[in-house]
Amino acid sequence: MMQEEYHWSWITRSGLNASSADHNIRFPYWSFTKSVIAVCALKLSENGSLNLDAFLQGQKYTLRQLLQHTAGVADYGQLSDYHHDVAANLPPWSRDKMLDAVLANDPLFLPGEGWSYSNVGYMLARERIEEVAGKSFAELVAEFITTPLGLKSVEVATTQLQFSTLHWPAAASYHPGWVYHGCLIGTAHDAASILDALFNKKIFRNNHATGSTLQQMLEHYPLGGALAGRPWTKCGYALGLMSGEVGGGQRAIGHSGGGPFCVNAVYHFPDCADPVTVSCFAKGTDQGSAELFATRLALQLNGKKAQ
């Protein structure tokens, strides 16, 4: 079912931009936060503080594999008790209780020998970059992204009070602690601005040489073809970025996300005549609807029809 309420923002490479959303309205970024975690990891790699290919202590997987969901780490999304307690508005489990429940079974596969989406993997990735940097994720986001780009609305949500300030009333009853890798909140414009800055060489220093930081981030694991109810015709996953093709063979790179009351899609469309970055936030639980809306808007701006 299509969502009834959309809020969007777009920015083109040439600097054109528009937004349907009030610049004071904020939304949960959900799994778009993964893109920001990956950016922080790559910034630390770029300055020599972090080796993406070193094994984590006591583990057989690397940070790069965690960021690409190829480490074999399971997820709490498959735990029925997790969904029950979220729906019941109970306090989040402790980090250790959640991890014990997830790791009760064997790894899904040997590192590098498969792919499986894992929020837990991104929690472990976040913890690793915080350990290496000696700073919190919130401090790294400010240092690497929001302060240089002048983005005022974006912050890491840790309390229900913060969620009570978001657009949809249902947010007030949700505790962001249930998102164990962390959940950024901010405006639609600032979500688009983060991804626009990534692709327009405003975040990484090493943008031009072979093997640049951005090129590393874009190296993707191919996952297959079309998905029912979604715009994808080819799917893959890079480092913190969903990467594939949508409507008529147009590339789309970014991230979707969702929670109990809203969804989002934040994507860059590099094949448009004037490459555009679109963010869309929608009421409901259908991520495909937000993706379809973002794709249609991008193709409309490019003078093409979605297929």
Q: Is residue 103 assigned to a domain?
A: yes
Q: How far apart are CA 250 and CA 263, in angstroms?
A: 22
Q: Is residue 52 assigned to a domain?
A: yes
Specify whether the CB–CB gap between 34 and 294 falls below 8 A.
no
**Better pLDDT: 249 or 210:** 249
CATH number at residue 285: 3.40.710.10
Beta strand extents in the chain (DSSP E only)? 6-12, 17-19, 27-28, 155-157, 183-186, 221-224, 232-237, 242-246, 250-258, 262-269, 276-283
The model's pLDDT over 34-45, given as tens digits with 9 standing for 90+, comes to 999 999 999 999
Does 1 have pLDDT greater than 50? Answer: no
Q: Among 35, 59, 24, which Cα is nearest to 241's?
A: 35
Q: Is residue 101 assigned to a domain?
A: yes
Tokens of 63: 């940070």
Q: Is residue 306 assigned to a domain?
A: no
Let me know if 30 is exposed, middle or buried by CB neighbors in 10 A (0-12, 13-18, 19+).
buried
Q: Is residue 307 assigned to a domain?
A: no
The model's pLDDT over 156-170, given as tens digits with 9 standing for 90+, comes to 999 999 999 999 999
Tokens of 171: 């947010």
**CA dihedral defined by 38, 44, 46, 48, rounded to 10 degrees?**
-150
Domain coverage including residue 273? 6-301
Q: Is residue 1 assigned to a domain?
A: no
Q: How far apart are CA 93 and CA 177, in angstroms?
A: 8
Task: Indicate the number of domains in the chain.
Answer: 1
The model's pLDDT over 158-209, given as tens digits with 9 standing for 90+, comes to 999 999 999 999 999 999 999 999 999 999 999 999 999 999 989 998 655 4
**One-letter identity of residue 87:** A
What sign results for the dihedral spanned by CA atoms 99, 101, 102, 107?
Answer: positive
Q: Is residue 278 assigned to a domain?
A: yes
